[in-house]
Chain A
């Protein structure tokens, strides 16, 4: 096969025919008509309903369950407990790889956190199963719960996030601070937060002998499949998972969750299909969350307002039985050009479900602290916050000294500030009022998120009718993968999007990796792109090697694919349709596979990040302390934008989440029991429509030849970063009160 030059200037690809178009989501009609089948919409014949009983204590053990009472309730089929459950092939406590988290699947009567599953009632109806779970009336031996950031002896975890070093440093921070003309030291706290996807975790499990059909939302089909395979001791090809639509994931559906495994076990126990759906409050425990943090920042500047040192330390928590550490301080590694930087973490263990990735893990928590601190430092220097950031603009990645693969942050600052009207901002806080006397504040924050790539594979085909097919086990969490990836697929095979059959969302398709790390479009897109190039190359071989073809002798790189035809590059009048090529060759279809993967050489050479600048206006009632965000402008540079319409929606969502981080979201934990007291969407506040101001998103042109073949950086998470800090800084600018505990509460502004 002739060599294909895919990495820089793909011969056949014409961006703009499909990629770059603001298509509306192709699954939208299905969704508004209620025809999109989510996991819990499946009802195989004979299906039973499973409901979890969960622990009301945070630490101790279950001493009794009234299984008899539950079983006597009419319609209850069985009750699964630690003493009565199907065996698993391996101990669920064993971490077989770093992406396996410990889960509670009734392996013991120990309770490690509140809302931990302690039994499962299986019944003919949901109502009966629900009441059966109540009738279990668990009794406990209760131990004092470990709660909060000071729950016990702190320790330094071996790694944070996904294998990041706990500590990083460059230069001498203490010397830099000693040298500083001005310095600040401030401590910020962020609360525990829960993903709260609109669709709760759910599973419909149906065994047929040793084959298993699963309907469940997942951001990682193959990771989930592999986990099920090892837990139940069955071959991969015996498992089929369907996950065509997710009602949000945000990181909480990346891995097989304990409750989903319980659904599979329940189906095995009763030998019938079983559906298990979490109640909203049951999502506050066994399916991950964002851990609380306490972050100390020390920053110094010289007489010109240039950073001399940046020290960012984060305290966080993990569970008593597993390890995930919110890498909050890492946000300071990449953003500002300080000659001396240190980032470090420590942690305590508490009685909580293990924290997990939650949209922008580390970046979101770290960004609100860092952007607040930079704002405080700018004020201490008497410099406008934007001018201060420009003064300390990092031309190379500060911690590593690597050049950026691309960085259009300056353009983000310029375009965002211009759109917002930033130049009219008063330097002093509490100086701006609107006509009705409300305090007005303007704040900004820098957004950043790494441009990651994982591994993926795709299969492409060109068929004799001239149509194409692309298959990849990709995941649509609501972000629009059905549309954006199909756009990439269409360009990859040189066809209009409506002439490509695009398949995704099931585990029998090529592995698309995980939809996380804002890397799914880049990763799956790269695989699609490469599969498309490979299938076109095969088609070109058929044509260019056949003397009956007008393309004979052009060579593989001598043709381009467009609108279902191969066209001679040096003479566009000579072309042939896919259908003609295949018909003459007597071939029903040609197919090929392609992969997407990170490029280690490029990663070694370049620092790869998306960037952005967010500007926020808040109004604050001067006496009552109530805050309202009235305007937000975000300018983001994230490489190639595959679908500007969907990307804007992603960025809107992120900006709203950032505003939520600054002003609303908090899981309130009872300091004595360790129970979460607002485990519902009535009391766990997120912004409602009436809270969300007009949002303005600018996507800043950025060409990146290094991140991947398509130059995509990803937009899933960056929107939160920068936004949370911008809102917090705007509240300070409005009021002159610097609140360092998030979310910002009314009482802080009444003082």
Chain B
């Protein structure tokens, strides 16, 4: 491996200072970064290990009814927190559908947000990739691209963001707290990840040295607990990224949807909030027809970036199904196969 400095700051301020120099990068669990380093995709000069920072591993209920999740909370700890799973079941279901139990035990909240695309051409350093090497070209175009983006892509990049966790988070309007060289700021998660445009090398709105310290769920996010599901179609039951996924969350009052939230995963370089579809759903009864209409609205702008036109049809069907499941009500217990179309199949062994 390429030699690198390793520093282990004790405070957030020290961490931000240590990461200021070019070539520095933060290390949390490393479930993605270490693979990238082994493959020569990422060759940092300095690793700033965050795992010994104090105070970033708490799940706090806020006075306003919101929730603050420290960036170092593990995916597993968050998903298995009973209060969290009860209040935000769609997020817990998404977390438990991601990666494997071993990876979830290690992977952190902040790291999950900042994981890199799984585009094979990004990982293959012999391929041209504008995300890895700005301006070099995109070999995914015209290559093996049946899993690539159908929304928000550009000629420069057709990669997708692989996170499950981020999909319900963006649906629920999560906010990201960032510590940077100019102090603390916060942005909506929906604005964290960038579409590729002409600069696919920039995954996110973060500046060099910025550190995500927490993710916050606003008070309103709690209101969807009774009708919220995550659905993920993938090529095996566990330990596979989504072909397409959807998070659907509804507030149903007097037989009508008073508010709807919908986001898609595996379709774009960011978790894709489908606001046009949400608008269709507001104030109407939850029927198959209206779900179909929402699905068409969600994918209005979709177009294939390669051998992946099927993902558009699949995404529509997933939207309809996720909304149908959400309307039916959040199950009392986490399904044995979270987010799977086979979630309700009896006799399933936990993924």
| Residues of A that sit less than 8 Å from B by CB | 56-57, 127, 130-131, 134, 434, 436, 438, 619, 621, 623-626, 628, 630, 663-664, 668-673, 675, 677-678, 682-683, 685, 687-691, 694, 745-747, 750
Count the A-B residue pairs with Cβ separation under 8 angstroms: how many? 107
Query: Can you list 6 pairs linking A and B with CB atoms under 8 Å apart?
Result: A56-B126, A619-B345, A630-B345, A630-B347, A678-B120, A683-B120
- The 10 A-B pairs at the shortest CB distance, nearest first, are namely A56-B126, A747-B310, A677-B120, A690-B237, A690-B351, A621-B341, A690-B238, A691-B237, A623-B317, A127-B1
> Measured between C-beta atoms, what is the minimum distance from B101 to chain A in Å?
10
Chain B residue nearest in CB terms to A683: B120
> Measured between C-beta atoms, what is the minimum distance from B2 to chain A in Å?
5
Is the CB–CB distance between B237 and A688 below 8 Å?
yes
Is the CB–CB distance between B120 and A626 below 8 Å?
no
Q: Which of A626, A677, A685, A747 has a CB less than 8 Å from the CB of B121?
A: A677
Q: Which of B118, B127, B341 has a CB less than 8 Å from the CB of A673?
A: B127
Q: Count of chain B residues with Cβ under 8 Å from any Cβ of A?
A: 44
Residues of A within 8 A of B320 (CB): 623
Using an 8 Å CB-CB cutoff, how does the interface string of B142-159 with A read, 1 for contact, 0 for none? 111010000000000000
Interface check B206, CB cutoff 8 A? no
Is the CB–CB distance between A668 and B345 below 8 Å?
no
Residues of A within 8 A of B125 (CB): 56
Is the CB–CB distance between B314 and A746 below 8 Å?
yes
Residues of A within 8 A of B237 (CB): 628, 688, 690-691
Q: Which of A131, A621, A745 has a CB less than 8 Å from the CB of B1?
A: A131
| Residues of B that sit less than 8 Å from A by CB | 1-3, 40, 100, 118, 120-121, 124-127, 139, 142-144, 146, 233-240, 243, 310, 313-314, 317-318, 320-321, 337, 340-342, 344-345, 347-351
Q: Which of B126, B233, B243, B337 has a CB less than 8 Å from the CB of A675?
A: B126
Is the CB–CB distance between A688 and B345 below 8 Å?
no
Residues of B within 8 A of A746 (CB): 233, 235, 243, 310, 314
CA of A234 to CA of B250 in the docked complex: distance in angstroms? 76
Chain B residue nearest in CB terms to A436: B344
Q: Which of A434, A671, A689 has a CB less than 8 Å from the CB of B143?
A: A671
Chain B residue nearest in CB terms to A281: B39
Is the CB–CB distance between B235 and A685 below 8 Å?
yes
CB-CB under 8 A for A438 and B342, given A624-B314, A677-B124: yes
Is the CB–CB distance between B239 and A688 below 8 Å?
yes
> Measured between C-beta atoms, what is the minimum distance from A117 to chain B in Å?
16
Is the CB–CB distance between A673 and B126 below 8 Å?
yes
CB-CB under 8 A for A670 and B143, given A677-B120, A691-B237, A750-B314: yes
> Measured between C-beta atoms, what is the minimum distance from A458 to chain B in Å?
43
Residues of A within 8 A of B143 (CB): 670-672, 677
Is the CB–CB distance between B233 and A624 below 8 Å?
yes
Residues of A within 8 A of B124 (CB): 675, 677
- State the main secondary structure of chain B at its contact with A: loop
Is the CB–CB distance between B350 and A130 below 8 Å?
no
Residues of A within 8 A of B345 (CB): 434, 436, 438, 619, 628, 630
CB-CB under 8 A for A131 and B2, given A628-B345, A690-B349: yes
Is the CB–CB distance between B314 and A688 below 8 Å?
no
Chain B residue nearest in CB terms to A620: B341
Is the CB–CB distance between A690 and B337 below 8 Å?
yes
> Measured between C-beta atoms, what is the minimum distance from B180 to chain A in Å?
32
Residues of A within 8 A of B144 (CB): 668-671, 677
**Residue of A623, A672, A685 contacting most chain B CB atoms (<10 Å):** A623
> Measured between C-beta atoms, what is the minimum distance from B166 to chain A in Å?
19
Q: Which of A134, A626, A687 has a CB less than 8 Å from the CB of B342?
A: A626
> Measured between C-beta atoms, what is the minimum distance from B267 to chain A in Å?
15
Is the CB–CB distance between B2 and A621 below 8 Å?
no
> Measured between C-beta atoms, what is the minimum distance from A195 to chain B in Å?
19
> Measured between C-beta atoms, what is the minimum distance from B127 to chain A in Å?
7
Is the CB–CB distance between B120 and A624 below 8 Å?
no
Is the CB–CB distance between A672 and B142 below 8 Å?
yes
> Measured between C-beta atoms, what is the minimum distance from B347 to chain A in Å?
8
Q: Which of A624, A628, A664, A668 has a CB less than 8 Å from the CB of B317?
A: A624
Is the CB–CB distance between A131 and B3 below 8 Å?
yes
CA of A13 to CA of B317 in the docked complex: distance in angstroms? 65
Having A624-B318, A677-B143, one finds 20 other A-B pairs with CB under 8 Å, namely A134-B2, A619-B342, A623-B317, A623-B320, A624-B233, A624-B341, A668-B144, A669-B144, A670-B127, A670-B143, A670-B144, A671-B143, A671-B144, A673-B139, A675-B126, A688-B236, A690-B237, A747-B310, A750-B310, A750-B317
Residues of B within 8 A of A691 (CB): 236-238
CB-CB under 8 A for A625 and B126, given A127-B1, A436-B344, A668-B144: no
CA of A89 to CA of B166 in the docked complex: distance in angstroms? 60
> Measured between C-beta atoms, what is the minimum distance from A110 to chain B in Å?
18
Q: Which of A624, A669, A672, A675 has a CB less than 8 Å from the CB of B321?
A: A624
CA of A501 to CA of B284 in the docked complex: distance in angstroms? 79
CA of A668 to CA of B307 in the docked complex: distance in angstroms? 14
Is the CB–CB distance between B342 and A628 below 8 Å?
yes
**Residue of A130, A438, A668, A675 contacting most chain B CB atoms (<10 Å):** A675
> Measured between C-beta atoms, what is the minimum distance from B18 to chain A in Å?
23
CA of A683 to CA of B236 in the docked complex: distance in angstroms? 11
> Measured between C-beta atoms, what is the minimum distance from A635 to chain B in Å?
22
Is the CB–CB distance between A664 and B3 below 8 Å?
no
Residues of A within 8 A of B341 (CB): 621, 624, 626
CA of A625 to CA of B236 in the docked complex: distance in angstroms? 12
> Measured between C-beta atoms, what is the minimum distance from A639 to chain B in Å?
33
> Measured between C-beta atoms, what is the minimum distance from A11 to chain B in Å?
50
CA of A576 to CA of B222 in the docked complex: distance in angstroms? 84
CA of A682 to CA of B239 in the docked complex: distance in angstroms? 8
Chain A residue nearest in CB terms to B307: A747
CA of A735 to CA of B347 in the docked complex: distance in angstroms? 22
> Measured between C-beta atoms, what is the minimum distance from A695 to chain B in Å?
12
Is the CB–CB distance between A685 and B240 below 8 Å?
yes
Residues of B within 8 A of A438 (CB): 342, 345
Is the CB–CB distance between A621 and B342 below 8 Å?
yes
CA of A683 to CA of B3 in the docked complex: distance in angstroms? 28
Residues of B within 8 A of A670 (CB): 127, 139, 143-144
Residues of B within 8 A of A626 (CB): 233-234, 340-342
> Measured between C-beta atoms, what is the minimum distance from A658 to chain B in Å?
15
Chain A residue nearest in CB terms to B343: A436
CA of A297 to CA of B342 in the docked complex: distance in angstroms? 35
Residues of B within 8 A of A624 (CB): 233, 314, 317-318, 321, 341
Chain A residue nearest in CB terms to B118: A683
CA of A688 to CA of B238 in the docked complex: distance in angstroms? 7
CA of A685 to CA of B235 in the docked complex: distance in angstroms? 8
> Measured between C-beta atoms, what is the minimum distance from A288 to chain B in Å?
22
Residues of B within 8 A of A687 (CB): 236
Is the CB–CB distance between A750 and B235 below 8 Å?
no
> Measured between C-beta atoms, what is the minimum distance from A533 to chain B in Å?
47
> Measured between C-beta atoms, what is the minimum distance from A420 to chain B in Å?
16
Chain A residue nearest in CB terms to B350: A690
Chain B residue nearest in CB terms to A682: B239
Residues of A within 8 A of B318 (CB): 624
CA of A682 to CA of B3 in the docked complex: distance in angstroms? 26
> Measured between C-beta atoms, what is the minimum distance from B327 to chain A in Å?
16
> Measured between C-beta atoms, what is the minimum distance from A508 to chain B in Å?
38
CA of A687 to CA of B348 in the docked complex: distance in angstroms? 15
Chain B residue nearest in CB terms to A687: B236
Is the CB–CB distance between A685 and B236 below 8 Å?
yes
CA of A343 to CA of B171 in the docked complex: distance in angstroms? 57
Residues of A within 8 A of B120 (CB): 668, 677-678, 683
> Measured between C-beta atoms, what is the minimum distance from B165 to chain A in Å?
18
> Measured between C-beta atoms, what is the minimum distance from A69 to chain B in Å?
12
Is the CB–CB distance between A134 and B235 below 8 Å?
no
